[in-house]
Amino acid sequence: MSENYIYAVARVRCKELTLLDSSVMDSLLAAGSYEECVRILADHGWSSEGENSSPEAMLASEREKTWDFIGELTKDMSIFDVFLYANDYHNLKAAIKESFVHTEHPGVYIDKSQCTVDPEVIKKAIVEKEYDLLPEDMRQIAQETTDVLLHTGDGQLCDILIDRAALIKIYESGKKTGNDILKLYGELTVASADIKTAIRANKTGKDIKFLERALAPCDSLDIKALAAAANDDEDAIYSYLDRTVYADAIPEIKKSPSAFERWCDNRIIRSIRPQIHNPESIGPLAAFILARENEIKSVRIILSGKLNHLSDESVRERVREMYV
């Protein structure tokens, strides 16, 4: 953390001018067609590199631009790994399942530019059972999950174990950075995942053992109390959440899972917004990455809404708050 971020923050301030604000989001929502949306985005510098002009290619290209820009600003990118661990564990999940069913689905892997571990290394480690190729904290869970899948064939259990390991990794590495924004990101990621899991487990009638295996520890939730509440009934979950900092989320959880996801993303954006005025720390860089991810997520929702002819209202209620 001894790196000096004055130069980097000044560059981020300039780049923040290119972020999409709520007026651009309104224009996108008001656009009559997908093509019109693409034109509006192109006016704001969004484009896909190469010949592939699909929405996913454009979004991937925008994400790549963000990471290239951040790469120019800091020598040590590892501090931002907290944003990439979810992709590593997704690839681990894909590799284990692929190895179990003995078929290949190259499209399920997230590109190595968005990961801390090359997906090919993960695949090799799982197929050849050479777990030492994996990072230390991934080895045990990879071995355990492979064994569980082989013995039980339970894909959901495999998902739960890996998701929990990913959440613990995100939470711990966020804390380890010592930066408030990254710590908050780790905390909110774990807490929102735990709340979603508790609600889903309650609706599908899962037992307390399942909940204890699925919930990852964090500071803002008592996972034992949450598991007990989820084992009881839905009102018990709301009653527990009412005593936590997530009381505001209850109406959104009741509305729909997507409304709760939107609430979680908006909460992160509101928490990082003070970074707009921070002149010299890593905070504005982390906030810029999160703002860009949030922007990409909202654009994806709008574009898929336009492509699938969804009503403006249903798309609008899914679009996130903007950072600027």
Partner 1 sequence: MENLGLFFALLGAALSALVAGAGSAVGVGRAGQAAAGLVTDDPSQFSRALILQLLPGTQGIYGLLIAFITLTQIGIMGGSSDISLAKGLLYLAACLPMAIVGYVSASYQSKCSVASIGLIAKRPDQFGRAMIFPAMVETYAILALLVSILSIFGIANVNI
Binding site for partner 1 (CB under 8 A): 4, 6-11, 13-17, 277, 279-280
Nearer to partner 1, 73 or 289 (CB): 73
Q: How far is the CB of 7 from partner 1 (least distance, A)?
A: 4
Concatenated DSSP letters of 186-230:
HHHHHHHHHHHHHHHHHHTT--HHHHHHHPPP-SS--HHHHHHHH
Distances (CA, A) of 118 to 4, 150, 169, 174: 29, 24, 17, 21
Q: How far is the CB of 37 from partner 1 (least distance, A)?
A: 26
Nearer to partner 1, 20 or 241 (CB): 20
Distances (CA, A) of 78 to 64, 117, 174: 16, 12, 11
Sequence-distant (6+) residues with CB within 8 A of 83 are 185, 289, 290, 293
How far out from the chain centre does Cα 201 lie?
A: 21
Nearer to partner 1, 6 or 309 (CB): 6
Nearer to partner 1, 4 or 103 (CB): 4
Q: How far is the CB of 75 from partner 1 (least distance, A)?
A: 15
State how far the Cα of 280 lies from the Cα of 215, in Å rounded to an integer. 36
Q: How far is the CB of 11 from partner 1 (least distance, A)?
A: 4
Q: How far is the CB of 74 from partner 1 (least distance, A)?
A: 12
Tell me the CB-side half-sphere exposure of residue 238, using CA atoms within 13 A: 11
Nearer to partner 1, 11 or 316 (CB): 11
Helices (H) and strands (E) in the chain, counts: 16, 0
Q: Single out the residue of 222, 221, 201 nearest to residue 210, CA to CA.
A: 201
Nearer to partner 1, 11 or 175 (CB): 11
Nearer to partner 1, 2 or 4 (CB): 4
Q: Single out the residue of 290, 44, 17, 15 nearest to residue 7, CA to CA.
A: 15
Concatenated DSSP letters of 267-301:
HHHHHHGGGGG--SSSHHHHHHHHHHHHHHHHHHH
Nearer to partner 1, 4 or 204 (CB): 4
Q: How far is the CB of 289 from partner 1 (least distance, A)?
A: 17
How far out from the chain centre does Cα 290 lie?
A: 9
Q: How far is the CB of 9 from partner 1 (least distance, A)?
A: 7
Q: How far is the CB of 12 from partner 1 (least distance, A)?
A: 8
State how far the Cα of 52 lies from the Cα of 74, in Å rounded to an integer. 30
